Structure 1
């Protein structure tokens, strides 16, 4: 047994050595790799630009719908101010609202007086918009409707759009002035010259142009927490005393394993030092894992239509559903909801960067939460990735606001295993999974991963699987056949991404471990501070399947996790080559077929 343990530890050392050699290699096939990378990077930039463009459109659409809502009802003088106060209160980005009717004027908050002169864009539906302008150091825009009988004007703070866009893109107004940006574009260049290195998208309603160019990847990026090792010691060893003797600190523990950190030694040095230590039963680096969302991007192809007709049997009234949520219609969610909209006894755990517990489309669905870094209930999302994933799986639906979730009634367990950068490690993910199982999760979504097979994470996966939890994971966004973990574990259902044309998303990883695919390009969902954004990635595909698994378990709680995997695979719509293939797995999920199969 000791020989086997030494072999396991020795393998970890070899793995670290291989990783180290890979990091410092000069890549002999450099030309081909550079070409392939440049093509992939340009395509991903285009995806990102489309996501950002539609996020801006969604932001403006939401305000526009509120303004147009004033046309639909007659307001008495007594109720106008109350309605206006609610308008500003419900939308923190609306700084002020102005209403004029029958010679009476009402104002709540601050609205620029020369609004009529500032309205330079007019849409067919009567909505007018200004160009961006600066007031008290912040970027604003005016939106409104002016006619003979009534006038409505909202002054809108663009801080959310600026903060969401500025680190990855630049935006120019209709006059060609860059008012949001990351400083990469030389504004002295002619427009044609400025566009050359960038993915460019136009927002036609207001004449804005958005430019995206991603940064070069950092080849020196670490794949494990430097200076940290996960260790299991012989049962008779006092771990605190051992750590003190080794001049390392125990920073966390899970079951029989501890995580130690050295301020002075690298992970490689520590593992080389302990490979002959008879006290050490097992050790591995504390591997790092991250979200599987594209940092926004896309390939050139025919234009997407987010506004196609939806002849739904069970169509929710959420404001973004009909114009933007093509993804739910594509997997026949509208028809599946006639079978079930979920049950409160089937919780779905989102193991991710946490969730915004105050989001109006999520707050009432969250029943509990856990922070795997602090071992407490502070699950608040500082990044936005987990909030977006949670909304896809189970946003509050049919509430007039925001989006529809795949599952309407299944509660959410919010598990923070990724930090403010949407990065985590073997231990944080393992702890999050175990907590979710112990707190009643029936389905766990894992929109995270990397190419490292971690024993400690696999133990947690096995624990969940043996407790009959359905495990859904994103396959990864590198367009490679290399297995990503945890998606590659046999206990997990691995999900790839398809686009609105049911074609494999160009970034979606492939291989014989892929089980099914789901929509993963340009997916609208919840975001921090009651906002909604468009994102792309297999991170977005996975929660479609997690929400679907929650609905399947709501119809028949007696089904085992393996039986649910089989149902999901067998009822998917075959795509690509006939039968199973490594690009689409068994095909794209079909919620209607899956739920109808178990109902009969």
Structure 2
């Protein structure tokens, strides 16, 4: 049966290889990254996003097939597993029914759920990837797009009906969250996605991909950036008041609404005025020590063989072997022999929250905080934080989903970004303070912007002075402009690399860049019990946060600077000799870092 598992994923491997060959031939020949023209860069962003979406669909189909194989194996080995299979079917909304037949008589052995009467007759074609999976043509049943998937194996044959409207809607929802400026999966109405040319807005920048199993053609396009970015919260100012000043009274006297408070640091709002106008009015106010606009910050989303000895048991998670190239590239397999993380090293994911019900995360999240509401409601209504958290620490060896970099470190879910993955300097600062005060040994910050906020820096400094390791993403605009918090000296700044150990075309650079880590086509958790592919330096940062957690698990006496030094000194030099502004000290090497 293990052979069938490998066979089931052959189509996935072929797709990844095809995409990798295409990516290398189309992208790498032209990437002297800083010299990309605007239109070329926009085309590259569109193509990158299209690849992620296609691979997400392939990930969905592979999971369907793996679930069917798992159920069939359980049913074959133990007929009493029928009740468990029924429960599994009820938990998989996209699979309507499952049936098993004995061959060659086609005698029905087991059936549960909804299946069309002519299920077997519907099979018209085999997989285009050369494996033994069979597919029906997509069809409509009671207004819903569906298809039948099956596999014949020696003396048995089993089939399932899959709801395609689910995946089509799901992928379109992902696309609607995409940003046309390289910050992948952020709200943006300028992006168009469809599965037929008649629906699509097709132009010279469009990315087109075929999905042969579903007979879909995916078209993705977006216009060049031509809008002014909202750099700050309208009518909001962060004010640091003198010690003797009472915030409520000050706000009342100045006719502004006291929106939030953290000691003598407050956020005040007057939506009838611009932030600069308010600050000019208070420029000579003796009760004001410092003030700045409440800047907006957003998430930063956009194979060398291991020389370490392999652990006795590699992760048995269903997507590990064929999809998680990123963990293998960092030489993690040997590291897991030495440590898999410690419950004494809590790590805070300061982001859009985390889905607390995701089966690959619910055992890992021990506590959470919502900086907007000052409560424990950390549910992720965007998806970015859940994806970041899964990379760092998904439940491993549960025969499901993905493996995490660290297997045991508790996760603190800190929600500082809203449903569009946008936050502000004050909410981020609150989240950092909370994480530090609640025992975080490592903080991951897959967010940022070019604003050097004093309020946020004070929080960064507070965490650093309390010996917290701070990891942040450099950003996805292919620019040298420093992004904060990544550009602060107290933070380890992480850029992105691809499967070929080369800097991603979108990855920001500069003298503040410390290291790079995998950031393209990274599979991870997503709200609703799902798994998707995403790309961006947001995905790179939690890889490094995971390594930092493992280092601190191995030696609790190391300071945050000791951890930074280990990571920098042991990175693989993949660019010009020595430190350079595109790769920093190089690509992170977990095995070397742990043993240095």
For normalisation by structure 2, the TM-score amounts to 0.86
Aligned to 2:262: 254
Q: Is the 8 A contact 2:234 2:271 kept in 1?
A: no
Aligned to 1:87: 88
Distance change (3 Å), C-alpha of 1:364 and 1:440: same
Distance change (3 Å), C-alpha of 1:485 and 1:365: same
CA deviations on 1:56-113 (whole Å, 9 max, x unpaired) are 1111001112223355466389526324303303423212222334733543221222
Looking at structure 1, the residues matched to 548 and 153 of structure 2 have their Cα atoms a distance apart, in angstroms, of 50
CA deviations on 1:452-506 (whole Å, 9 max, x unpaired) are 0001100100010000000000000011110000000000000011111111101
Q: Is the 8 A contact 2:196 2:217 kept in 1?
A: no
Cα shift at 1:350: 0.3
Aligned to 1:333: 332
Cα shift at 1:130: 2.6
Looking at structure 2, the residues matched to 365 and 169 of structure 1 have their Cα atoms a distance apart, in angstroms, of 28
Residues 387-402 of structure 1: pairs in structure 2 closer than 5 A = 387-402=386-401
Confirm whether residue 351 of structure 1 aligns to residue 357 of structure 2.
Answer: no
**Structure 1 runs not aligned, ≥5 long:** 1-32, 171-180, 295-304
For 1:414, what is the secondary structure of its paired residue?
Answer: strand
Distance change (3 Å), C-alpha of 1:214 and 1:73: same
Distance change (3 Å), C-alpha of 1:311 and 1:564: closer
CA deviations on 1:479-534 (whole Å, 9 max, x unpaired) are 11100000000000000111111111011111100001101111111111111111
For 1:217, what is the secondary structure of its paired residue?
Answer: coil
Alignment match of 1:226 (pick from 228, 234, 243): 234
Residues 118-517 of structure 1: pairs in structure 2 closer than 5 A = 118-123=122-127, 124-146=130-152, 149-166=155-172, 182=192, 187-188=197-198, 196-294=204-302, 313-314=310-311, 315-517=314-516
Looking at structure 2, the residues matched to 400 and 77 of structure 1 have their Cα atoms a distance apart, in angstroms, of 18
Which stretch of the first structure deviates more once superposed, 233-242 or 534-543? 233-242
Looking at structure 1, the residues matched to 167 and 226 of structure 2 have their Cα atoms a distance apart, in angstroms, of 27
Q: Is the 8 A contact 1:292 1:449 kept in 2?
A: yes
Distance change (3 Å), C-alpha of 1:76 and 1:230: closer
Looking at structure 2, the residues matched to 538 and 182 of structure 1 have their Cα atoms a distance apart, in angstroms, of 23
Cα shift at 1:131: 3.5
Which stretch of the first structure deviates more once superposed, 261-270 or 152-161? 152-161
Looking at structure 2, the residues matched to 521 and 384 of structure 1 have their Cα atoms a distance apart, in angstroms, of 17
Cα shift at 1:210: 1.8
CA deviations on 1:310-369 (whole Å, 9 max, x unpaired) are 997132111111111111111101111111111111111100000011111111011101
Q: Is the 8 A contact 1:121 1:205 kept in 2?
A: no
Distance change (3 Å), C-alpha of 1:515 and 1:241: same
Cα shift at 1:196: 4.6
**Structure 2 runs not aligned, ≥5 long:** 1-33, 177-190
Residues 492-571 of structure 1: pairs in structure 2 closer than 5 A = 492-571=491-570
Looking at structure 1, the residues matched to 475 and 244 of structure 2 have their Cα atoms a distance apart, in angstroms, of 41
Looking at structure 2, the residues matched to 592 and 544 of structure 1 have their Cα atoms a distance apart, in angstroms, of 13
Looking at structure 2, the residues matched to 558 and 502 of structure 1 have their Cα atoms a distance apart, in angstroms, of 32
Alignment match of 1:116 (pick from 120, 143, 155): 120
Distance change (3 Å), C-alpha of 1:115 and 1:104: closer
Looking at structure 2, the residues matched to 515 and 250 of structure 1 have their Cα atoms a distance apart, in angstroms, of 39
Looking at structure 2, the residues matched to 185 and 146 of structure 1 have their Cα atoms a distance apart, in angstroms, of 30
Looking at structure 1, the residues matched to 538 and 532 of structure 2 have their Cα atoms a distance apart, in angstroms, of 14
Q: Is the 8 A contact 1:226 1:266 kept in 2?
A: yes
For 2:363, what is the secondary structure of its paired residue?
Answer: helix
Aligned to 1:47: 48
Aligned to 2:98: 97
Distance change (3 Å), C-alpha of 1:160 and 1:440: farther
CA deviations on 1:174-210 (whole Å, 9 max, x unpaired) are xxxxxxx957788449x9x957541122234444322
For 2:385, what is the secondary structure of its paired residue?
Answer: helix
For 2:337, what is the secondary structure of its paired residue?
Answer: coil
Looking at structure 1, the residues matched to 96 and 75 of structure 2 have their Cα atoms a distance apart, in angstroms, of 24
Looking at structure 1, the residues matched to 36 and 331 of structure 2 have their Cα atoms a distance apart, in angstroms, of 39
CA deviations on 1:255-288 (whole Å, 9 max, x unpaired) are 2111001131121221121113232221100000
Q: Is the 8 A contact 2:72 2:100 kept in 1?
A: no
Which stretch of the first structure deviates more once superposed, 70-79 or 475-484? 70-79
CA deviations on 1:124-170 (whole Å, 9 max, x unpaired) are 43221233333344333321225784332222223553234225769
Distance change (3 Å), C-alpha of 1:583 and 1:78: closer
Aligned to 2:16: none
